[in-house]
Amino acid sequence: SSRSARLIMELKDAALKLLDQNRKAAGCLAAAGVALLGLGLGYKYFGTRRKLTRVGVVSQLIIHPVKSGKGVRVARAECLRMGLRQGELRDRHWLVVTENGQMVTGRQEPRLVLVSMTVEGGDICLSGPNMEELRVPLHQPSNSIFDCRVFGADIQGRDCGEEVSQWLTRYLESDKTLRLVHFEHHMKARNPVEKEPAFPKDEKVAYPDIGAVMLLSEASLADLNTRLEKPVTVAQFRPSIVVSDCAAFSEDSWDNIQIGNVRMEHVMPCGRCVFTTVDPETGVISRKEPLDTLKSYRMKDSSQKLYNSSPLFGQYYTVKQTGNLKVGDPVYKISY
């Protein structure tokens, strides 16, 4: 009958609708499954499942404002891509140069290690043995910008003025006029990769030899001192971060580390030169120790041309996540 036919058609429509709904539900379930699988794979391969293992404690933070000048110990500091900073005081952002822009370091002028610089109330303050303290404005925007050369690389610096030039020239008893220049944030920085291919291509530095952050352990220094007739201090090696509560040379194996909210990645060991033989207390260069002793047990395989004849002492890091450091912070090795 027509009534039966209508009933059959309604049942057929209901069945088709239910089937269509089930297909949509199945599609949603499948999409959700794919999304969950993707999240799981992403977490596995790209996530932040980091294991932190405590390997030491920060015992010193040292900023060296003037290249080759005296280090300033601080209790806390910002750790930026271009090195440590405390207020206006930034690591190796000032450089002594000749009037034609050639850098002057403690290798040529060992007594430069006795020059201390601080920043107070908008002034830079310079002091040295048998010299009056000199204060000049930190920012002198009308002063000339010098084109400088640091290990063959071009970089700029703002001249710190005539008073500073006379002070440095007189202190170092130089037969050349010396000047102090300041690296400003808008200036073109150096790329360490041009000198050492181990560094990331986007790494930038002002006036350090090569890297912006160098770490050394107290235990490694203690190990070296057991081999020396006259002990040396950490000032001889000019690290940014000194670590205690670890074994000698354990820092050689710290590929990735976290201190506070700062994350760093290991780049390469620090190859040492004759500058380590300048006594930081007297400014006298011996050209012997501790370099000779380091060469007796801290040389890399001679086939690795990267280090030539330099013994390795301390490790360079690149800063992957900037933040704040303080003395007493635990140092964690990161593993994935």
- Tell me: the pLDDT tens digits for 134-178? 999 999 999 999 999 999 999 999 999 999 999 999 999 999 999
3-state secondary structure of 294: helix
Q: Which of 217, 208, 203, 298 minimizes the C-alpha distance to 257?
A: 217
Sign for the pseudo-dihedral over CA of 53, 55, 57, 59: negative
The DSSP 8-state label assigned to residue 276 in this structure reads: G
Residue of higher predicted confidence among 63 and 15: 63
Plot region of 121 (φ>0 → left; ψ -120 to 50 → alpha; else → beta): left
Average pLDDT on 103-111 reads 98
Q: What distances in angstroms separate CA 18 from CA 5, 6, 128, one per listed residue?
A: 20, 18, 90
pLDDT band at 25 (very low <50, low <70, confident <90, very high): very low
CA distance linking residue 124 with residue 127, whole number of Å: 10
pLDDT band at 300 (very low <50, low <70, confident <90, very high): confident
CA angle 220, 70, 117 (to 5 degrees): 145
pLDDT band at 37 (very low <50, low <70, confident <90, very high): very low
Q: Which of 295, 246, 259, 255 minimizes the C-alpha distance to 274?
A: 295
CA distance linking residue 15 with residue 30, whole number of Å: 22
CATH number of 51-335: 2.40.33.20
Mean pLDDT of the chain: 89
CA distance linking residue 175 with residue 245, whole number of Å: 47
Instruction: State yes or no: pLDDT of 247 exceeds 70.
Output: yes
Q: Tokens representing 164? A: 């500073």
> Cβ–Cβ contacts within 10 Å for residue 284, how many?
11
Instruction: State yes or no: pLDDT of 42 exceeds 90.
Output: no
What residues have CB less than 8 Å from 163, skipping those under 6 apart?
134, 136
The DSSP 8-state label assigned to residue 207 in this structure reads: S
Q: What is the pLDDT of residue 20?
A: 57
**196 close to 210: Cβ distance less than 8 angstroms:** yes
Average pLDDT on 197-207 reads 96
**316 close to 269: Cβ distance less than 8 angstroms:** yes
Instruction: State yes or no: pLDDT of 290 exceeds 80.
Output: yes
Alpha helix stretches (DSSP H) within 216-290? 218-225
